[in-house]
Amino acid sequence: MSTALSQDSQVILLLTAPLMTGRMEPSADLLTPGEYGRLAVFLHEVQRSPGDLLTADADGLLRQCQGVVDGDRLRKLLGRGFLLSQAVERWQTRAIWVVTSADAPYPHRLKERLKENAPAVLYGCGDAPILETGGLAVIGSRSATPELLAYTERIGQLAANAQQTVVSGGARGIDQASMRGALEAGGTAAGMLADSLERAALNREYRSPLMEGQLVLVSSYDPMAGFNVGNAMQRNKLIYALADAALVISSDYQKGGTWAGATEQLTKLRLVPVFVRSQGDIEKGLQELQNMGALPWPNPSNAEDLVRILRPEQDPTTTTHNEEQAPAPVHESIPEPPATTKAKLVPAKHRSKPRKSAGDIAEPTLFDAVPEKTVSNKRATTRHEKTEGTTNADG
């Protein structure tokens, strides 16, 4: 990812970004996403671009914008050039890249699916092309039992074996368990953080997967921003938008970020099919999500089955999430793990060379012993659970 900022990107940052450089509060009266969206539409209508607000004849254009955003407010924000240079220098020393909606590398999935609700600015660290690979979003609460964490790790391992990216919110608990399973099996992961990107980028536990092209961490909030419940809720839609399908491992009922994000997908956005865990002790939150239209997770036992779930258009016999499907009971007994078979790897759009073999991944089953050939789950001091700054508002 190039560290050079176009003039359009500079203006977008000046108008919308806090540009924190050691201070923990916004530096000016920033444009809200809605305000910037209206300004961008106006500029497009008059056949101008954001970068034109920094040209020699910008005064005339600023007067034209008066009916959309107060001109004096725009001038004050555009006058933060020195602060922007300081912020850019800080980001570069921490290997953090910045991309705006005016840049070609901006993730197409976010633009196409969220349209005007796509964030104007994304900050990131790691291999940005991973954001275009789709994959499985794995979602759940920060507080989870050891059995659920082990189950989630095996989901991540299966995704790695199928060469599919795991997308998560990067918070401790279910999020980090899915990422840990994928990364330790040689796969790729994308963490859409709600806070503390700078701290995560500097965490030595993330250093190896970031440098080896296995991991990308990204946030629509300033790299120094702390945790905020509203930010955590808003980033949920970004997790779903980056994936091909989503699996909710656990959820409280009518509270928490997991519930809010899943219900928004099921009732409003409908970006991807939403599955819920169908094995083990199924809490009320998962039952109600299924009543709202979520599908029971079909528990794929190999790489090919997982790919068919994520990309049903490649298999004409697979029912899509928009078609009617016979209801399946949520409280089904936990079957014995199927015999482990060697999965044939399928091509992926983006794949780094694994550091170690993913092995033969058996069907992730709760409360059963992990099959002998299943990749071992390292539980004690794992690298991805140490970053407490990457949190979300889960129940």
Going by pLDDT thresholds of 50, 70 and 90, the confidence category of residue 4 is confident
pLDDT for the residue numbered 26:
57
pLDDT for the residue numbered 327:
42
- Type of residue at 178: S
Going by pLDDT thresholds of 50, 70 and 90, the confidence category of residue 373 is very low
Q: Three-state DSSP class for 122?
A: strand
pLDDT tens-digit map of 269-316: 999 999 999 999 999 999 999 999 999 999 999 999 999 999 987 765
Report pTM. 0.80
Q: Domain locations in the chain?
A: 7-95, 129-385
Three-state secondary structure of 290-319:
HHCCCEECCCCCCHHHHHHHHCHHHCCCCC
pLDDT for the residue numbered 259:
96
pLDDT tens-digit map of 63-95: 999 999 999 999 999 999 999 999 999 999 999
Percentage of the chain beyond pLDDT 90 is 70
CB atoms within 10 A of CB 13: 23
Q: Indicate the burial class of 77 (C-beta count within 10 angstroms; 0-12, 13-18, 19 or more).
A: buried
pLDDT tens-digit map of 227-271: 988 899 999 999 999 999 999 999 999 999 999 999 999 999 999
Cα 302-306-312 angle, rounded to 5 deg = 140
Would the pLDDT of 114 be above 60? yes
Report the alpha-carbon distance of residue 175 to residue 41 in Å, rounded.
36
> Which residue would you say has higher pLDDT here, 389 or 160?
160
> Which residue would you say has higher pLDDT here, 319 or 20?
20
The distance between the two most distant Cα atoms of the chain, rounded to a whole number of Å, is: 72
pLDDT tens-digit map of 168-192: 999 989 999 999 999 999 999 999 9
Cα 84-118-352 angle, rounded to 5 deg = 85
Would the pLDDT of 146 be above 90? yes
Would the pLDDT of 208 be above 70? yes
DSSP string covering 186-233, please? Answer: T--EEEEESS-HHHHHH-HHHHHHHHTTSEEEEESS-TT----HHHHH
Would the pLDDT of 149 be above 60? yes
pLDDT for the residue numbered 127:
96
pLDDT for the residue numbered 179:
96
pLDDT for the residue numbered 249:
98
Report the alpha-carbon distance of residue 144 to residue 19 in Å, rounded.
35
pLDDT, average across residues 195-201: 93
CATH number of 129-385: 3.40.50.450
CB atoms within 10 A of CB 327: 10
- Mean pLDDT score of the chain, rounded to an integer? 83
pLDDT tens-digit map of 118-127: 999 999 999 9
DSSP code of 166?
E
Would the pLDDT of 202 be above 70? yes
